[in-house]
Amino acid sequence: MYLPKNCRVITIGDGDLSFSRALLEHVPPNNLIATTYDSKDVLRDKYTRNALDDLLNAGVIVEHSVDIKDLASVNRLPQNFADIVIFNHPLVPGQHRDISPQKERKKSANLANRDLLYHFLKQSFQVFLNPEGQRLCYITSKSVKPYSDWHIETSLTLNRPYQFLGNQLFNLSLFKNYMVRKVDRDKYVKHEESKVYVYSDNNAHPINGYLTAFRFAEDKCCPLCRIGPFTHADDWKNHHHTRLHKTQQQYHDLWSAHCNLNYQYL
């Protein structure tokens, strides 16, 4: 994870705050602001082992009840503070309680998580990032379903001033005692390969040298399914009739309709 010397960082939705604590190996305490979606009381009640006191004792500012989709909540944090804003392993809470049929539940969850990440990028670039700073946003997410179905590389920046630059593997060993937690209960999540997805409004950013570009944006590839290139027209045509592509196209169409209705930027 690219963390230049003396960079200032805001972490968003850091469940038990263990990632923010791990960042202290790389970022000075006065250069870090940690946030949680939960209130302080809910955090302590939900996660019996948490890093809140460690951060406070180190002098880190910790803000609770920060909802990235609520501008009033966002505006409680310092504006133009950060060089880098990080959302590690985001997930909308409460989805397991959805009693609708599985297919519809998956669509609803896909849409909700894309919407969360859309707001994360929007608020970060408009509110948190310093105009003269590094101007980077990181989303760390697993490389397996359902997270890969969010189309993080392609769906969040259409007609926006910031762009997806590329990704790099998330090296868990660099972040001591960081554990991915369930968003709604005191349980740990099995560690699986994750990537750090990087965004900036500077397409020539020096970080590009550390990143892997999204190769499925190339001609004759399917960016939704991450397949290709197709060498024959019949292969491309047949792919569009597969269950995989139809499912990914449904997710894409649902998100496009949501954005057209609510954000008018597609």
Q: What band does 164 get if pLDDT is binned at 50, 70 and 90?
A: very high
Does residue 4 lie within any of the structural domains? no
Cα-flanking dihedrals φ and ψ of residue 220, to 5°? Answer: 70, 20
Note whether 98 and 184 are same-domain residues: yes
Does residue 19 lie within any of the structural domains? yes
- Please tell me the predicted confidence (pLDDT) of residue 160: 86
Using the 3D structure, point to which of 213, 231, 250 is the last residue of a domain. 213
> Which helix H or strand E contains 32, and what residues bound it?
strand 32-35
Does residue 2 lie within any of the structural domains? no
Using the 3D structure, point to which of 170, 190, 213 is the last residue of a domain. 213
DSSP annotation of 105 reads H
Is the confidence at residue 186, as pLDDT, over 80? no
Distances (CA, A) of 116 to 2, 31, 95, 144, 248: 23, 25, 13, 19, 19
Which residue, among 50, 25, 17, has the nearest Cα to 171 in the 3D structure? 25
Note whether 204 and 171 are same-domain residues: yes
Does residue 1 lie within any of the structural domains? no
Is the confidence at residue 109, as pLDDT, over 60? yes
Note whether 228 and 169 are same-domain residues: no
Predicted TM-score (pTM) of the model is 0.93
Q: What band does 266 get if pLDDT is binned at 50, 70 and 90?
A: very low
- Please tell me the predicted confidence (pLDDT) of residue 97: 61
> Which helix H or strand E contains 85, and what residues bound it?
strand 84-88
Share of the chain above pLDDT 70, in %: 97
Note whether 174 and 122 are same-domain residues: yes
Note whether 24 and 137 are same-domain residues: yes
Is the confidence at residue 15, as pLDDT, over 80? yes
Is the separation of the CB atoms in 71 and 79 below 8 Å? no
Higher pLDDT, 190 or 160: 160
**Mean pLDDT over each residue of the chain, to the nearest integer:** 92
Is the separation of the CB atoms in 95 and 109 below 8 Å? yes
Q: What is the CATH number of the domain that holds 31?
A: 3.40.50.150
Note whether 223 and 165 are same-domain residues: no
Note whether 200 and 222 are same-domain residues: no
Note whether 208 and 225 are same-domain residues: no
Task: List, in sequence order, every beta strand (DSSP E) within 143-231.
Answer: 163-169, 194-200
Cα-flanking dihedrals φ and ψ of residue 200, to 5°? Answer: -160, 160
Note whether 193 and 251 are same-domain residues: no
Does residue 3 lie within any of the structural domains? no
Phi-psi region of 25 (alpha: psi -120 to 50; beta: other; left: phi over 0): alpha
Using the 3D structure, point to which of 213, 235, 257 is the last residue of a domain. 213
Note whether 137 and 156 are same-domain residues: yes
Q: Which residue range forms the structural domain that includes residue 107?
A: 9-213
Note whether 178 and 152 are same-domain residues: yes
Distances (CA, A) of 45 to 16, 18, 19, 193: 11, 16, 19, 29
Q: How many domains does the chain have?
A: 2
Note whether 124 and 170 are same-domain residues: yes
Does residue 197 lie within any of the structural domains? yes
- Please tell me the predicted confidence (pLDDT) of residue 98: 63
Q: What band does 102 get if pLDDT is binned at 50, 70 and 90?
A: confident
Is the confidence at residue 99, as pLDDT, over 70? no
- Please tell me the predicted confidence (pLDDT) of residue 183: 79
- Tens of pLDDT, residue by residue over 190-239, are 778 899 999 999 999 999 999 999 999 888 899 999 999 999 989 989 99
